[in-house]
Structure 1
Amino acid sequence: MADSNLYGVALPASAKRLPELLEATAIAEDLGAGLVTVADHPYLPSELDAWTLVPLLLARTSRVRVATNVTALPFRSPTVIAKAAATLQFTSGGRFVLGLGAGGPYDGLPEWGAQWPSLGHAIGALDEAIPLLRRLWSGHRVDHDGEYYRLREAVAVAGAPPDPVPPIWVGSFKPRMLALTGRHADGWLPTNAYLSLDEVPAMQRAVDDGAVAAGREPSAVRRVFNVMGVIDDTQPRRNDQLLVGPAGHWAEALTDYRERLGFETFVFWPVRGDTRRQVELFFENVVPKL
């Protein structure tokens, strides 16, 4: 049987589906999931705030890790993120994962209050923010005079530095973001709905090149794939920007994503049906086939 710790789920953050979210989280942990994630879309009126949901999910679980998938940096300062992440790591016993990105689609975000006027600026800020976060977790006072952030004798941890330091997984797709991922991130977290599978090998190489250019081993960047789709043997099969089909079809596709495309961890993101039942199908019928 496959190691369930290599598999996680992305669960709905909709206010109307809160009971479903909580029940699916419990099911996922009971069935051996390694990770539960919630999207961070503060600009969508239908969704609850991820940074309020994450501590709720951590408090209701005892083993599974919980991640933002992914935090939109333009709405939160690095100091606030560092403080919140350190607090979550302390209160959960080290089970928080910081998924981080530039936010998007970005065009409409400045109208909602994003800090930067363009995606280019947001990427520059992310490039600066990730190493700054790690400095803020060091426990030392931080002076920083950057292009996007300026701090004077800042300390953003609650008590002692977080142990372990929260891993930072970056959601990225385009060349500049992929290079940034290789340069700074602990994990690469793309989503099938926003790419072509044929593009993935070149994207993997771009992450590798970014790591090597920064003096890092490419293996330092964990390869995590959000797989949107539905487990259903009554619908036409798909294996592109959605994965649709029975459990065997899913197992074949994920095996291919691992062996040919280089992903090591998978996050199942149900797009239709009852999330609770989809989570059961994934861990009871798909994962054992891998």
Structure 2
Amino acid sequence: MRLSTVILPVYRWTEGREVWRRAEDLGFDTAYTYDHLSWRTFRDGPWFGAVPTLTAAAAATERLRLGTLVTSPNFRHPVTLAKDLITLDDVSGGRITLGIGAGGSGFDATALGQEAWTPRERADRFSEFVPLLDRLLTDDVVSYEGEFYSAHEVRNIPGCVQRPRIPFAVAATGPRGLKLAARHGQAWVTTGDPKLFETGTPEQSLEAVRGQIAKLGAACDEIGRDPAELHKTMLTGFTPDRPLDSFDAFTDFAGRHAELGIDEIVIHWPIPDSDFAADPKLFERIATEGLVQLATP
């Protein structure tokens, strides 16, 4: 199992540089950031762009993998996004993972002036967005005319450092999204069942994730793909569990999810007086000892 973190883009770079370097020093596998224009309770505070933040982080680190968790079609176009990702992959020396999802109805869903899309409309766009982005990151020249997106003789030379392209971590729980994960993903991302966040139990959440993994396996079976080929990522903070309350709480949470087949646990970097407040010393102990403890018989 791998342990990764999410560093929200709330820091001026004079401070943020040290946060990303500290994530590398602590031994995290990957440090992700949210790709939003604003987000929930952070809406009226500092919030910086994901791609410039990751570019700066790439220059400030050497080993740490970097990525979005997640990018969505809400305000991205595959053509311009592909160019940014190819550049970011080059700057980082091939350390980029693209977390990608259908998006939601949050504060930035209407930032470009459109009405918030329905779940079906988001799924329709996502079903076109992911395959086109796959082609743009893989082929030197792409032309495409779709219902929502177009690309006319788009050149993406020299392409990604990682071949055939940067890995996709597809966030999905519905049938259409799971099919996209099975066909295009190198990893799959879940936050659990959002309906259980406030009123469910950890046991119910665990069963929900078990069911999601089973559905992902079925989607892989439909196209003849081995489900074991997809890394399975759990982004914490959105289930009834509280894995950062104590060291034992984390190892229990990670152990139970590892038994389901989760390969990567992602915890939020602590931000005081926020939804992601946590004891910094406990957080660092989890980062350095949590998986070691889990692996000890």
Report the TM-score when normalising by structure 1: 0.84
The more displaced of 277-286 and 33-42 is 277-286
* CA pair 161-14 structure 1, distance change in 2 beyond 3 A: closer
1:172 and 1:190 in contact (8 A); partners too:
yes
User: How far, CA to CA, are the matches of 2:159 and 2:209 in structure 1?
Assistant: 39
**Aligned partners of 1:207 and 1:218 also within 8 Å:** yes
1:161–1:49 CA distance, 2 compared to 1 (3 A): closer
Query: Is the contact between residue 137 and residue 162 of structure 1 (CA under 8 Å) also seen in structure 2?
Result: no
How many residue pairs match? The answer is 273
Could you say which residue in structure 1 is the equivalent of 2:292?
288
Q: Unaligned regions of 5+ residues in structure 1, if any?
A: 230-238
Identity of aligned residues (%): 26
- Which residue of the other structure, out of 248, 257, 272, is the alignment partner of 2:277? 272
Checking the alignment, whether the CA contact within 8 Å between 1:116 and 1:122 is kept in structure 2 is: no
Report the 3-state secondary structure (helix = DSSP H, G, I; strand = E; otherwise coil) of the residue aligned with 1:37: strand
The answer on 1:80 being equivalent to 2:80 is yes
Kept in 2: contact 1:58–1:66 (CA 8 A): yes
CA shift, 1:104, in A, is: 1.8
SS where residue 127 of structure 1 aligns? helix
Please show how residues 75-224 of structure 1 align to structure 2 within 5 Å.
75-105=75-105, 109-110=109-110, 112-113=112-113, 117-155=117-155, 157-164=156-163, 165-192=165-192, 194=194, 196-224=205-233
Contact 1:75 1:114 in 2 (8 A): no
CA-atom RMSD in angstroms: 2.6
Distance 1:257 1:243 in 2: 12
Q: Matched residues in 1 for 2:37 and 2:9: separation?
A: 10
Shift of 1:65: 0.5
TM-score by length of structure 2 reads 0.82
TM-superposed CA distance for 1:12, in Å, is 2.5
- Contact kept in structure 1, 2:75 and 2:112, CA below 8 Å: no
The answer for the alignment partner of 1:33 in structure 2 is 28
Shift of residue 161, structure 1, vs aligned partner: 4.3
Counterpart-to-counterpart distance in 1, 2:21 and 2:108: 35
Offset of 1:21 from its aligned partner?
Answer: 4.0
Q: For 2:116 and 2:137, how far apart are their aligned partners in 1?
A: 24
Matched, 1:228 2:250: no
Deviation at 1:79, TM superposition (A): 0.8
